[in-house]
Amino acid sequence: MENPDEQSKKIENYEYQIRLLELFQEFLITISKKLELNDLAEYLLKFIKNSFNAEACSIIINHQRFFYGNINSESLIIAENAVLEEVAKRKGNVILNNINSDTLTFHLKLGLEKTLVSIPIINEGKIIAYVNIYENIKNFNFNELKILQEFLNKASTSIYNSLIYNQVSRKSMLDPLTGVYNRRFFMQKLITQLNTFEKFLSIIMIDIDFFKNYNDRNGHQAGDYLLTEIVNVIKDNLREYDTIGRYGGEEFILILPEVDNLKALEICERLRKAIENYNFKFRDSQPENKITVSAGLTTTVTRDLNYEELIKEADNNLYKSKKSGRNKVTNSLILNKNLHIS
């Protein structure tokens, strides 16, 4: 006959197994509903934090890093990347008992006395995500690691579904040739910006000069090259929170949030000159042996107009640039619905 202590331990173990099973079922139901990558990553981080008492954690999905805790320093991210390379080689867990002294990371001199566990999440033989857990060296629990591994293994299908969903969703937003927002999705962005900006909202319409000549003389593949390369030049001269979309065949449109008219004009001129001075292929087939663009810029300080009126103003300015000789910027400031200053 079992003694009371053994019976108590068995009861505790049964209760633990029941709680674990309930947690597991809730986890699977909840994570299967997370289709947006941000939502899924946020849920996983909270789950790991709350269910396994992790001090800090990061998740890398689709080259994006999500994290909680004080682990966003540049040197620590470098350390993580070194560990992830090792995980990719092994296709299995990598455990650094002490980040500060492990051979993979000691040269970085992080001064961080923590255990780091990096876990790959694998679907059909491919790593689709990584989980990095930081713990106090004395508190790390290998039994909990095994349990967490089981949870993450079951999460792989949901993560894969989220990746596919976001790929399809993103493709519906983008122009297939240039990779910038298509016209429909760009308009949604512009409407949002027009309803939420605080002081200034500037937009720029850009048209490639003599694009038909370039296309006819060099072929459609060269035309595609020119469109994609001009997009790259534009991106190199914008801030990360500016927005670019393809408006038409060789027309592009930009949103510069909270940029006043003078600053927007500087940006527009910088773009124009960067394109004019860029060594595009077949530039010698164009007038004056160079690729140029014309631009129409407008800035509004009022929300007393709709997005179509804002675009029409920029388009009118673009037309003036084209008519007055090309390779120019025409500018205006909208003070209210009826007062536009050129």
User: The pTM is what?
Assistant: 0.59
The answer on 337 and 197 residing in a single domain is yes
Residue 234: the pLDDT is 95
Same domain, residue pair 197 and 126: no
Task: Tell me, yes or no, whether 230 and 201 share the same domain.
Answer: yes
Residue 228: the pLDDT is 96
How, if at all, do strands 329-336 and 293-300 pair? Answer: parallel
144 is catalytic: no
- DSSP run (H or E) holding 84: helix 74-90
> How far are the Cα atoms of 113, 269, 279 from residue 266, in angstroms, in the given order?
49, 5, 22
- The answer to whether residue 19 is domain-embedded is no
Contacts of 249 (CB under 8 A, 6+ apart): 211
Do residues 322 and 266 share a domain? Answer: yes
Per the domain annotation, does 10 fall within a domain? no
Residue 25, domain member (yes or no): no
Interstrand relation of 243-246 and 201-208 (parallel, antiparallel or unpaired): unpaired
**Whether residues 238 and 99 fall in one domain:** no
Judge whether 175 and 247 are in contact, CB under 8 Å. no
Of 80, 250, 251, 313, catalytic: 250
Whether 149 and 228 share a structural domain: no
Per-residue pLDDT at 269? 96
**CA separation for the pair 299, 314 (Å, rounded):** 9
Q: Is 205 helix (H, G, I), strand (E, B) or coil?
A: strand
Residue 139 sits in which domain range?
32-170
The residues of the chain scoring below 70 in pLDDT are 1-18, 20, 337-339, 342
Q: Same domain for 211 and 155? A: no
Residues 160 and 84: beta-carbon distance below 8 Å: no
Q: Do 44 and 144 fall into the same domain? A: yes
Q: Are residues 126 and 230 located together in one domain of the fold? A: no
Q: Starting from the edge strand earliest in sequence, which strands make up the sheet with 339-341, in order?
A: 243-246, 251-257, 201-208, 293-300, 329-336, 339-341
Give the pLDDT score at 285: 92
- Residue 159's CATH number: 3.30.450.40
pLDDT digit string, tens, across residues 286-316: 999 999 999 999 999 988 889 999 999 999 9
Q: Based on the structure, what is the number of domains in the chain?
A: 2
Indicate if 42 and 103 belong to the same structural domain: yes
Exposed/middle/buried for residue 129 (C-beta within 10 Å: 0-12, 13-18, 19+): buried
Q: Does 163 reside within a domain?
A: yes
Distant-in-sequence, close-in-space partners of 218: CB < 8 Å, separation ≥ 6: 281, 282, 285
